[in-house]
């Protein structure tokens, strides 16, 4: 290293960060507020631009979505968790609009709807314990849970789901003792997680129910 290089290095100004994290967060918030206000004012224009962009870059977007599927899933799950009340309020205030959107989606995707129903039906049939399949009492109990879900939704306008506490996708049984009524938001927040303690208890409960059923038969 010669004399001049050494002097040049000594004279090099230090790099200074002009913004701390709080400032950056504030800038991000300003951007979010601006974007929301701009979208509100130019809704049709923005939607048309987004539509054109999607049509032009469909394959690229599809590839990116596949690549980041888990990341997106985790992000949306966390977002639902942190904004549960907001989603619940929005669902309550836009009940008719949500119904219309769902109806349109079903009309535009009949094959997907049939596929989903067929998969769900087959999974339920496989998940019903053999000794319970022809039990009228069990059928009434399951029906009562679904009826309760419908009555609650009609009473307060909040969408309800009948949830399997031990998910069918993880081998849980389609049995009245494994059903609970949740709001749609709570059900989405819960996801397909299976609590080991719950599974253990559910197996014991199912064994007891089988013994009682055998005695009553």
Smallest CA-to-CA distance from 88 within 180, 183, 154 is with: 183
Q: Give the pLDDT confidence score for residue 194 in this predicted structure.
A: 75
Q: Distances in Å between the alpha carbon of 195 and those of 24, 154, 160?
A: 39, 31, 22
For 17, list phi and psi in degrees, rounded to 5: -80, 115
Q: Are 212 and 177 in contact (CB under 8 A)?
A: no
Helix, strand, coil proportions of the chain in percent (round to 5)? 75, 5, 20
- Neighbouring C-beta atoms of residue 139, cutoff 10 Å: 14
pTM metric for this prediction = 0.48
- pLDDT tens for the chain, residues 1 to 217: 454 444 444 455 444 454 455 566 677 777 778 888 888 888 888 888 888 888 888 788 777 777 776 777 777 777 777 777 777 777 777 778 877 888 888 788 777 776 667 667 767 778 888 888 888 888 889 889 889 988 998 888 888 888 889 988 888 888 999 999 998 888 877 777 778 888 899 999 999 988 888 877 6
């Amino acid at each position: 290293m010669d004399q001049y290089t050494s002097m040049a290095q000594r004279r090099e100004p230090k790099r200074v960060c002009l913004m701390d994290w709080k400032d950056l967060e504030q800038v991000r918030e300003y951007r979010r507020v601006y974007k929301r206000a701009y979208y509100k004012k130019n809704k049709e224009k923005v939607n048309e631009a987004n539509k054109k962009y999607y049509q032009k870059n469909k394959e690229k977007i599809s590839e990116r979505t596949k690549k980041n599927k888990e990341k997106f899933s985790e992000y949306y799950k966390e977002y639902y968790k942190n904004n549960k009340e907001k989603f619940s309020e929005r669902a309550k205030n836009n009940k008719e609009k949500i119904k219309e959107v769902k109806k349109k989606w079903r009309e535009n995707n009949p094959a997907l709807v049939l596929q989903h129903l067929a998969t769900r039906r087959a999974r339920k049939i496989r998940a019903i314990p053999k000794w319970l399949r022809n039990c009228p009492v069990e059928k009434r109990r399951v029906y009562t849970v679904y009826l309760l879900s419908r009555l609650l939704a009609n009473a307060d306008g909040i969408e309800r789901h009948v949830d399997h506490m031990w998910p069918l996708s993880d081998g849980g049984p389609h049995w009245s003792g494994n059903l609970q009524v949740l709001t749609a938001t709570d059900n989405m927040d819960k996801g397909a997680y299976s609590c080991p303690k719950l599974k253990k208890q559910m197996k014991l409960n199912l064994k007891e129910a089988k013994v009682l059923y055998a005695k009553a038969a």
